[in-house]
């Protein structure tokens, strides 16, 4: 921990203690996940259902029960002088309430929001003392950026060696062929020319996009190559991995830009918003990984294990100062895409796919739990016919053509599948439209398991 972070940690911890003494606790809740894991939808549902619960609606029964029925009011904290954009639950609910309803757009930048929860005190003086107020600090960000965090512990040479070795294996090899051929044609003493650097960057970036969009892979670095955010594709990004034999000006330029990129990501992303939080939920698109195939499934687990280093790296001093979470929930999203009987298997599967991440998280001293949830429920259970037999299925409106359909997605294994599973293609992944919602969110949002997750994650603080 550098001296500046240490001072900031001491000040934040002192402020948290002072707030707790006067009944104004603050919980920094990190909602993390790789790209397309559903962070924006999760936050939209969390906010809408908390606000409805504060008006007396029983939208989050497990959380209400954990709080002993003492939640009295929930509201969005008014904006202050923040320089970061505000998360826009109204806009996202508006998209869900459109005709036809649509999912929120991909996250392109940071946004934050604070939710205040007023809770009646448990003590006999509860009628005299003011209500406790617990404030949840929330943040949304592009999931691709999460994979930059493990890079902070590497230098350019180590990152290049690891990345190039990965590009030559498995399904990455085909989309990486043009980029690798470009590297083969470079002399070891290639000069530091911007045109050359930008050509290599473009080939490498396009390869990453194909790996994500076509093959469903997630361990793709750097994250801003896939989602540069509002600052666009600045020259800072014009670098790419080079073999150890490269010694010329181009190699030196790429190494300088690599270091500058990580320094920028640390200053812009990690230190201000991601270095200290109290609770964490890690959203995992297990079903999407299962559908994408064996390599994508294992690649998702590898990516999550790598990202877990942001938790396991905390030393005793960082834990004392609140730099590591005390509770971490791993949650498989889109649980409504499979019938009820498959959801226990989905929760078990997320435990297996996050095994490496779980081990690192537990080393940090955090409590860990596993969940299957749908932040917004799109389906109902149904029965389908398969080869003359009745099977558990789900029914919803398909995203592509807006037609209602009953879908048997296949069986969800409780542990990483055997090779025969991948060979037979035994799982399909339907895409459903969201239900049309009230744009004001007055009655909350239909969900599966969100209340149980929140009860475990923050119920003890209410």
Cβ neighbours of residue 262 under 8 Å, at least 6 residues apart? 148, 151, 152
According to the model, what pLDDT value does residue 113 have?
92
According to the model, what pLDDT value does residue 240 have?
98
Q: Return d(Cα 152, Cα 149) in angstroms, integer.
A: 6
According to the model, what pLDDT value does residue 315 have?
45
According to the model, what pLDDT value does residue 188 have?
94
Q: How many CB atoms lie within 10 A of CB 301?
A: 22
What one-character-per-residue DSSP string does 206-266 give?
HHHHHHHHTT-----S-HHHH--GGG-S-GGG------TT--SHHHHHHHHHHHHHHHHHI
Scored b (16 or more CB within 10 A) or e, 413-428 reads beeebeeebeeeeebe
Provide CATH 3.40.50.300 ranges for the chain: 3-103+108-141+276-377+437-461
According to CATH, the superfamily of the domain at 3-103+108-141+276-377+437-461 is: P-loop containing nucleotide triphosphate hydrolases (3.40.50.300)
What one-character-per-residue DSSP string does 42-105 give?
HHHHHHHHHHHHHTT--SSHHHHHHTTT-EEEEEEPPP-S-SSPBP-HHHHHHHHTSSS--PPP
Residue 183 sits at the vertex; the CA angle it makes with 179 and 186, to the nearest 5 degrees, is 140
Coil, helix or strand for 380?
strand
Per-residue pLDDT of the chain (462 residues; tens, 9 = 90+): 455 554 455 455 555 555 554 456 889 988 888 888 899 999 999 999 999 999 999 999 999 999 999 999 999 999 888 778 899 999 999 999 888 888 988 888 888 899 999 999 876 555 566 788 999 999 888 888 888 988 988 999 999 999 999 999 999 999 999 999 999 999 999 999 999 999 999 999 999 999 999 999 999 999 999 998 887 888 999 999 999 999 999 999 999 999 999 999 888 877 766 667 888 898 999 999 988 889 999 999 888 888 875 544 444 344 444 556 788 899 999 999 999 999 999 999 998 888 777 766 667 678 889 999 999 999 999 999 888 889 999 999 998 888 999 999 888 898 888 888 888 776 778 889 999 888 877 889 999 999 999 999 999 988
According to the model, what pLDDT value does residue 15 have?
55
**Residues 212, 226: contact at Cβ < 8 Å?**
yes
Residue 13's H or E segment, with its range, is helix 3-21
Q: Return d(Cα 14, Cα 21) in angstroms, integer.
A: 11
Q: Return d(Cα 42, Cα 281) in angstroms, integer.
A: 10
């Amino acid at each position: 921990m550098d001296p500046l972070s240490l001072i900031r940690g001491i000040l934040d911890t002192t402020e948290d203690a002072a707030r707790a003494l006067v009944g104004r606790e603050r919980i920094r809740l990190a909602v993390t996940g790789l790209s397309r894991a559903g962070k924006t939808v999760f936050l939209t549902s969390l906010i809408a259902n908390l606000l409805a619960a504060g008006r007396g609606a029983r939208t989050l029964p497990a959380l209400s029960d954990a709080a002993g029925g003492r939640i009295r009011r929930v509201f969005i904290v008014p904006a202050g002088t923040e320089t970061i954009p505000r998360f826009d639950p109204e806009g996202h609910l508006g998209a869900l309430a459109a005709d036809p309803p649509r999912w929120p757009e991909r996250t392109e930048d940071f946004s934050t929001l604070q939710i205040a929860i007023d809770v009646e005190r448990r003590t006999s003086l509860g009628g005299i003392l003011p209500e406790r107020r617990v404030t949840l600090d929330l943040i949304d960000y592009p999931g691709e950026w999460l994979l930059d965090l493990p890079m902070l512990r590497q230098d350019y040479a180590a990152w290049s060696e690891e990345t190039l070795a990965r590009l030559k294996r498995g399904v990455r090899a085909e989309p990486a062929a043009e980029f690798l051929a470009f590297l083969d044609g470079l002399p070891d003493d290639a000069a530091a020319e911007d045109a050359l650097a930008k050509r290599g960057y473009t080939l490498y970036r396009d390869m990453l996009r194909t790996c994500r969009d076509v093959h469903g892979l997630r361990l793709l670095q750097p994250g801003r190559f896939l989602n540069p955010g509002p600052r666009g594709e600045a020259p800072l990004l014009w670098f790419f991995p080079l073999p150890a034999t490269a010694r010329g000006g181009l190699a030196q330029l790429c190494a300088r830009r690599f270091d500058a990129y990580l320094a920028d990501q640390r200053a812009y992303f990690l230190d201000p918003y991601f270095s200290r939080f109290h609770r964490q939920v890690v959203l995992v698109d297990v079903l999407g990984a299962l559908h994408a195939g064996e390599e994508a499934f294992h690649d998702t687990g590898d990516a999550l294990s790598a990202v877990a280093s942001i938790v396991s790296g905390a030393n005793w001093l960082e834990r004392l100062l609140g730099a590591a979470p005390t509770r971490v929930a791993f949650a498989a999203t889109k649980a409504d895409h499979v019938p009820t009987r498959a959801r226990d298997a989905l929760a078990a599967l997320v435990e297996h796919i996050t095994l490496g991440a779980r081990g690192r998280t537990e080393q940090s001293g955090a409590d860990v739990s596993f969940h299957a949830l749908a932040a917004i429920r799109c389906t109902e259970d149904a029965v389908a016919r398969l080869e003359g037999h009745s099977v558990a299925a789900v029914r919803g409106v398909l995203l592509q053509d807006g037609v209602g359909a009953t879908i048997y997605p296949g069986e969800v294994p409780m542990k990483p599948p055997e090779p025969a599973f991948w060979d037979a293609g035994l799982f399909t992944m339907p895409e459903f439209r969201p239900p049309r919602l009230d744009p004001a969110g007055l009655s909350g949002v239909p969900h599966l398991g969100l209340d149980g997750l929140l009860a475990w994650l923050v119920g003890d603080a209410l």
